């Protein structure tokens, strides 16, 4: 009898852990990645610590999901409190860690991949118990302008010693984790549906529309845009502003502050708070300019690539991953306009520049569309992350 043909190796089984089932930037990036990952090489299962929209979206595209419920007092703690306190609470109730370990053991996974800061910490004892390699996927800058001091120190210490590898969403994020083990940059990529087939020929019909897309949060800078809007409307009264996104992670007070400031500045007829939109492409299509106004450096800045991919002129604040996205060469190859964070006057002037010089703005937007399509495709991100998983499983 001829010798049996060698069997091909089975795909690497990866458990992807996330503490939330809400649709934040990291979760949307995960959705896009899992839609294109090569299932002959990787067999992913997503393990969520609560049910919610992310679970539904994952199941809709055929992704296997397991929910291991975490105490909401831990799961919903804000960034200001920090994951260190979350770890202490979770450790005091070891039942969750026991259930999580039992679930991963039953799944017979080869690699544990955590994709949020709370999941990063909670995955440590479980991965050690199961003797499985742990990969951290860090979507936040580990810096004191973003996280409590002690949390920063803890995460940097652990990143140098515990995970088998650390995936980061930008060089800016990598720079906040000096000495991290096997650091790899995987940008949150755009799907083909998020990239327009061609650039715009004309501005949207009607008066100028200035938009911002993102959850309502002090760090996202909606308040800065509202104050800049007063300057813009004084010069171009037909300009409309649309803030797309809802308050999340305990930001209800910020939404009330926004509404109060809109009223104080007499802008009720000029600014619309749209709320959450599942697919922002319709909103982007109507924009003359998309504004990114974060008050602290962004780890990456997905909304910037999304707007550029849809051919929308962009005005953004400097710092963090945004500096890796927006090209600002003085020799005619700019892809967007950058201003300093928190500078409402500079933001207003940049918005007016786009409105008053549409041909130049659309030329920048056309260059930006070609640039992000080349550098930020989701297939490239999936290949990078898959390579990390395969190396970890060896």
Q: What is the CATH number of the domain that holds 52?
A: 3.40.50.2000
Q: Please say if the pLDDT value at position 92 is more than 60.
A: no
Per-residue pLDDT, 376? 96
- Assess whether 384 and 362 both reside in one domain: no
Q: Are residues 217 and 170 in the same domain?
A: no
Domain assignment present for residue 4? The answer is no
- Indicate whether 65 and 199 sit together in one domain: no
- Give a yes or no: residue 288 inside a domain: yes
* CB atoms near residue 110 (< 10 Å): 20
Q: What tens digit of pLDDT does each residue of 155-190 get?
A: 999 999 999 999 999 999 999 999 999 999 999 999
Whether 147 and 249 share a structural domain? no
* Same domain flag for 175 and 306: no
Residue 219 near residue 24, CB atoms below 8 Å:
no
Q: How crowded is residue 197: how many other Cβ atoms within 10 Å of its Cβ?
A: 8
Same domain? For 148 and 211 the reply is no
331-368: per-residue pLDDT in tens? 667 999 999 999 999 999 999 999 999 999 999 999 99
Is 89 inside any structural domain?
yes
90 and 214 together in one domain: no
Residue 274 and residue 386 in one domain? no
Residue 94 lies in a domain: yes
Domain assignment of residue 167, yes or no: yes
- pTM listed for this prediction: 0.89
Give per-residue pLDDT as tens, 258-302.
999 999 999 999 999 999 888 889 999 999 999 999 999 999 999
Q: Could you tell me if 149 and 251 lie in one domain? A: no
Whether 6 is in a domain gets the answer no
Judge if 210 and 353 occupy the same domain.
yes
Verify that 154 and 51 share a domain, yes or no: yes
Work out how many domains the chain is built from and give that number.
2
Whether residues 175 and 37 fall in one domain: yes
The answer to whether residue 138 sits within a structural domain is yes
How far, in Å, CA of 79 to CA of 54, rounded?
20
Q: 117-130 vs 149-161: helix axis angle to the nearest 10?
A: 40
Q: Where in the sequence is the domain holding 236, given as residue range(s)?
A: 193-375
Domain membership flag for residue 7? no
């Amino acid at each position: 009898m001829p010798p049996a043909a060698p069997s091909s190796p089975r795909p690497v089984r990866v458990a992807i852990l996330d503490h939330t089932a809400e649709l934040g930037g990291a979760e949307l990036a995960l959705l896009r990645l899992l839609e294109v990952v090569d299932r002959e090489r990787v067999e992913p299962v997503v393990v969520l610590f609560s049910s919610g929209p992310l679970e539904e979206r994952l199941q809709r595209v055929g992704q296997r999901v397991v929910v291991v419920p975490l105490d909401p007092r831990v799961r919903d703690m804000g960034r200001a409190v920090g994951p260190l306190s979350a770890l202490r609470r979770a450790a005091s109730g070891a039942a969750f860690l026991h259930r999580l370990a039992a679930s991963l053991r039953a799944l017979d996974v080869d690699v544990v991949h955590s994709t949020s800061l709370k999941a990063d910490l909670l995955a440590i004892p479980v991965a050690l118990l199961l003797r499985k390699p742990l990969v951290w996927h860090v979507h936040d800058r580990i810096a004191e302008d973003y996280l409590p001091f002690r949390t920063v120190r803890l995460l940097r210490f652990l990143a140098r010693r515990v995970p088998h590898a650390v995936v980061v969403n930008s060089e800016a994020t990598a720079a906040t984790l000096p000495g991290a083990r096997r650091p790899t940059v995987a940008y949150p990529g755009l799907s083909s549906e998020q990239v327009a087939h061609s650039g715009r020929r004309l501005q949207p019909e009607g008066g100028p529309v200035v938009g911002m897309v993102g959850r309502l949060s002090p760090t996202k800078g909606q308040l800065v845009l509202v104050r800049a809007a007063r300057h813009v409307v004084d010069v171009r009264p037909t300009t409309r502003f649309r803030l797309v996104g809802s308050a999340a992670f305990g930001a209800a007070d910020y939404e009330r502050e926004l509404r109060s400031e809109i009223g104080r500045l007499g802008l009720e007829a000029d600014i619309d708070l749209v709320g959450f939109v599942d697919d922002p492409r319709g909103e982007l299509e109507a924009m003359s300019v998309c504004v990114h106004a974060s008050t602290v450096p962004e780890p990456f800045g997905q909304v910037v690539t999304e707007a550029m991919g849809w051919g929308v002129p962009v005005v953004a604040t400097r710092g963090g991953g945004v500096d890796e996205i927006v090209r600002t060469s003085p020799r005619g190859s700019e892809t967007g306009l950058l201003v300093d964070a928190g500078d409402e006057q500079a933001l207003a002037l940049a918005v007016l520049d786009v409105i008053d010089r549409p041909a130049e703005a659309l030329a920048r937007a056309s260059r930006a569309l070609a640039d992000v399509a080349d550098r930020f495709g989701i297939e490239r991100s999936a290949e990078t992350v898959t390579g990390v998983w395969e190396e970890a499983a060896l």
